[in-house]
Chains A and B, each alone.
Chain A
């Protein structure tokens, strides 16, 4: 998939918004103002320049596009960094298999989940269930 398709997928915020809101119970444990980002990874390994942010509101999820100026300035609590093939795959099954898709892509090494805040904050914000679901142990690992 080329850059063009990545942009098209990322910019299609209406589809993302509809699908995320259909599945909003996935995010039901996350507190209001929680933010999750989707960031494409370029073929040279660098990060894309636009991040899609899902913001948890009282009874819905807002989807927006923001410039990505580096991890230091990112406002999201979690960021999924996705290779273009992973982004395409997830987009294709957005309606029914968003989380399963993300977990699969993480396991296959096509997606990375970056935790932008400390553990206690993430747990307080209600991310524990989601993080564990994605197969990432909240209390660390070494194998």
Chain B
């Protein structure tokens, strides 16, 4: 069964959740939907169209959003709410019914309604957002009335076609006064009695302060909620899969009777071929979804979503992103076996080039491996990614030379062996001209457990490397202070992950000093310059964590090889997604 991305059903756009969301409020959109339904069905899938009226998170092109009551937003991204009248409710039901009929008309086997995540029906279900005093507010039964009326009218309109509703197993909105897990369960039962053919269960609202689908949630964490719901609705199929990226675990959960269908979103963005690979016993070749949420970070920036792990997502039809054989086979040397180098090696080898990776360390993975060792979120995600690359290296016969540091001198001995050289040498931490820097250690040395730190540690840099190092040290029992020149910490962290570092920093009592310049490192710690004078920060160990690009080798190799490229952090220190994307884009065109 494939459910097509939620389409908003109203011409005003009150239901519209994000820039470029598909609409289904008019017949003029139907030719595209018809093609999608046909494509799903030609490939043997049951085709479902989701209808998504975003309610509190809608009206994205308007100055307001439609809601049961005026309960202001808690996130600035969303529009101030306007209370719906009973006529508005009737109209909303009508628009859903019309949208459903349109989807069925062009060949979909069924439709799915969104009654979760803080969308319109969920806003009525919630005690937090529904303050109405009419028959649509108050008791659980009243709050569920809009959903029930809508489902029943839709079922009547689409007859034997499938009607699915998506509901929250938990809203994670308790501290705002939202529904409890027990109330969510009651609402699932209520939906089950409203003529639906299947229930899909989801977790969290967009405003939820807690994690629901991020990397810090362990795969399978939410299965207990599906299990509870399944007990209550034994006769209605239950689809579930939030943060359940692995087919093996999903199969196991189904076998245990926790739910009936595995529902997958982001893992398919990371690897659309995952089902075929699993079916063909090629599980190691599946690109894992690491739950990094780049996809949703982009959506909130009004940008099309992309995937860290799968650079092709959103560019499938562009020839520049396709894997095509090269004009002739080239000998490619990749210097540096971090994510940028690995992705470039695999992509160019897939196209038919002969590839050799030189890595100065004894293992591949670069900083990804270093940080996966001490990852606080879920290190398995990062390890799965590394093992994917290892599998691809084996599959495509990429030669790997470990423990060899490539220098210009060494390369000169190999002249003419390679047609293409790629510098993927990553970033470094330079002691630079900071007075006293020789007394400090680097974040890389700390994360690789090459140095011992004293009790009190000052980490210079509140960006992602500095923060990860500080968190690791704090977990290991050190007293840590982070010193950052910018006004805030986590400036280079992905929007959906900034809060995570901020709360870890707070939970671990890591002190932060921001908006200061480091003047010098002394035997007693660090001296920083503040607006009102110098401040001495006492520390037994000072850790340098500000990264710099490493372009020396790239520059030295000029005139030594036909094609010379540089990718990833070696260009400028950034992160995993940029490394993988640059590696792919280069590999696809060498």
Residues in chain A near residue B503, CB distance under 8 A: 107, 135
Residues in chain B near residue A109, CB distance under 8 A: 175-176, 209
Closest-CB distance, B112 to chain A (whole angstroms):
19
Complex CA gap A43/B517 in Å reads 46
Known contacts A133-B488, A143-B212, A143-B214; A114 and B499 CB within 8 A of each other: no
Residues in chain A near residue B209, CB distance under 8 A: 107, 109
* 8 Å CB interface, A105-143 against B: 107, 109, 112-119, 122-123, 129, 131-133, 135-143
Residues in chain A near residue B77, CB distance under 8 A: 119, 137-141
Asked if A104 CB lies within 8 Å of chain B CBs, one says yes
Residues in chain B near residue A143, CB distance under 8 A: 208, 211-214, 293, 296, 496-497, 499-500
Please give me the residue from chain B that is nearest to A127 by CB atom.
B76
Instruction: Determine whether the beta carbon of B506 is less than 8 Å from that of A136.
Output: no
Complex CA gap A79/B70 in Å reads 14
Asked if B206 CB lies within 8 Å of chain A CBs, one says yes
Residues in chain A near residue B495, CB distance under 8 A: 137, 139-141
Per-residue contact bits, chain A 51-82, to B (CB 8 Å; 1 contact, 0 not): 00000000000000000001110000001000
Instruction: Determine whether the beta carbon of A132 is less than 8 Å from that of B488.
Output: yes
Instruction: Determine whether the beta carbon of B506 is less than 8 Å from that of A107.
Output: yes
Asked if B63 CB lies within 8 Å of chain A CBs, one says yes
Asked if B354 CB lies within 8 Å of chain A CBs, one says no
Please give me the residue from chain A that is nearest to B71 by CB atom.
A71
> Chain A: how many interface residues by the 8 Å CB criterion?
31
Instruction: Determine whether the beta carbon of B75 is less than 8 Å from that of A118.
Output: no
Known contacts A135-B499, A141-B495, A143-B500; A118 and B80 CB within 8 A of each other: yes
Closest-CB distance, B162 to chain A (whole angstroms):
27
* 8 Å CB interface, A85-116 against B: 104, 107, 109, 112-116
Instruction: Determine whether the beta carbon of A114 is less than 8 Å from that of B80.
Output: no
Known contacts A45-B177, A135-B502, A137-B498; A142 and B76 CB within 8 A of each other: no
Please give me the residue from chain B that is nearest to A114 by CB atom.
B72
Complex CA gap A70/B83 in Å reads 13
Complex CA gap A129/B488 in Å reads 10
Instruction: Determine whether the beta carbon of B213 is less than 8 Å from that of A118.
Output: no
Asked if B73 CB lies within 8 Å of chain A CBs, one says yes
Residues in chain A near residue B80, CB distance under 8 A: 115-118
Asked if B74 CB lies within 8 Å of chain A CBs, one says yes
Instruction: Determine whether the beta carbon of B76 is less than 8 Å from that of A136.
Output: yes
Instruction: Determine whether the beta carbon of B74 is less than 8 Å from that of A112.
Output: yes
From A107, A115, A123, A133, contact of B72 by CB (8 A): A115
Known contacts A45-B177, A71-B71, A107-B503; A138 and B76 CB within 8 A of each other: yes
Complex CA gap A138/B581 in Å reads 27
Please give me the residue from chain B that is nearest to A76 by CB atom.
B72
Instruction: Determine whether the beta carbon of B300 is less than 8 Å from that of A118.
Output: no
Instruction: Determine whether the beta carbon of A141 is less than 8 Å from that of B300.
Output: yes
Residues in chain A near residue B214, CB distance under 8 A: 143
Closest-CB distance, A102 to chain B (whole angstroms):
13
Instruction: Determine whether the beta carbon of A141 is less than 8 Å from that of B206.
Output: yes
From A71, A112, A142, contact of B296 by CB (8 A): A142
Per-residue contact bits, chain B 443-459, to A (CB 8 Å; 1 contact, 0 not): 00000000000000000
Complex CA gap A139/B78 in Å reads 9
Instruction: Determine whether the beta carbon of B79 is less than 8 Å from that of A118.
Output: yes
Residues in chain A near residue B177, CB distance under 8 A: 45
Residues in chain A near residue B83, CB distance under 8 A: 72
Residues in chain A near residue B12, CB distance under 8 A: none
Complex CA gap A71/B67 in Å reads 13
Complex CA gap A138/B77 in Å reads 6
Instruction: Determine whether the beta carbon of A112 is less than 8 Å from that of B176.
Output: yes
Residues in chain B near residue A45, CB distance under 8 A: 127, 177
Complex CA gap A116/B293 in Å reads 28
Instruction: Determine whether the beta carbon of B76 is less than 8 Å from that of A115.
Output: yes
Complex CA gap A61/B20 in Å reads 42
Please give me the residue from chain B that is nearest to A111 by CB atom.
B175
Identify the interface centre among A118, A122, A139, A142: most chain B CB within 10 Å of its CB. Answer: A142
Please give me the residue from chain A that is nearest to B296 by CB atom.
A142
Instruction: Determine whether the beta carbon of A140 is less than 8 Å from that of B75.
Output: yes
Known contacts A135-B499, A143-B496; A122 and B300 CB within 8 A of each other: no
Asked if B324 CB lies within 8 Å of chain A CBs, one says no
From B63, B73, B75, B79, contact of A141 by CB (8 A): B75
Asked if B301 CB lies within 8 Å of chain A CBs, one says yes
Please give me the residue from chain A that is nearest to B502 by CB atom.
A135
Per-residue contact bits, chain B 469-497, to A (CB 8 Å; 1 contact, 0 not): 00000000000000000011000000111
From B206, B300, B487, contact of A139 by CB (8 A): B300
Complex CA gap A133/B506 in Å reads 13
Complex CA gap A108/B217 in Å reads 19
Per-residue contact bits, chain B 65-97, to A (CB 8 Å; 1 contact, 0 not): 000001111111111100100000000000000
Closest-CB distance, B218 to chain A (whole angstroms):
14
Complex CA gap A49/B144 in Å reads 29
Instruction: Determine whether the beta carbon of A140 is less than 8 Å from that of B300.
Output: yes
Instruction: Determine whether the beta carbon of A137 is less than 8 Å from that of B74.
Output: no
Closest-CB distance, B213 to chain A (whole angstroms):
7
Please give me the residue from chain B that is nearest to A41 by CB atom.
B177
Residues in chain A near residue B502, CB distance under 8 A: 135
Complex CA gap A79/B78 in Å reads 16
Complex CA gap A79/B127 in Å reads 19
Complex CA gap A114/B415 in Å reads 65
Instruction: Determine whether the beta carbon of B78 is less than 8 Å from that of A136.
Output: no
Residues in chain A near residue B206, CB distance under 8 A: 140-142
Instruction: Determine whether the beta carbon of B496 is less than 8 Å from that of A131.
Output: no
Complex CA gap A139/B297 in Å reads 9
Identify the interface centre among A45, A72, A79, A140: most chain B CB within 10 Å of its CB. Answer: A140
Residues in chain B near residue A71, CB distance under 8 A: 70-72
Per-residue contact bits, chain B 147-169, to A (CB 8 Å; 1 contact, 0 not): 00000000000000000000000
Of the A-B pairs whose beta carbons lie under 8 Å apart in the complex, a sample of 15, sorted by A's number, is A71-B70, A72-B70, A104-B506, A113-B74, A115-B73, A115-B75, A118-B63, A118-B80, A122-B76, A138-B76, A139-B495, A142-B206, A142-B213, A142-B296, A143-B499
Query: A140-B78, A143-B500 are known contacts; what are 19 more A-B pairs with Cβ within 8 Å?
Result: A45-B127, A70-B70, A71-B72, A104-B506, A107-B209, A115-B73, A116-B72, A118-B63, A118-B80, A132-B488, A133-B488, A135-B502, A136-B74, A136-B75, A138-B77, A140-B75, A141-B75, A141-B495, A142-B296
> Could you tell me which B residues sit within 8 Å of A by CB distance?
63, 70-80, 83, 127, 175-177, 206, 208-209, 211-214, 293, 296, 299-301, 487-488, 495-500, 502-503, 506
Nearest 5 Cβ contacts at the A-B interface: A140-B77, A109-B175, A140-B300, A114-B72, A119-B76
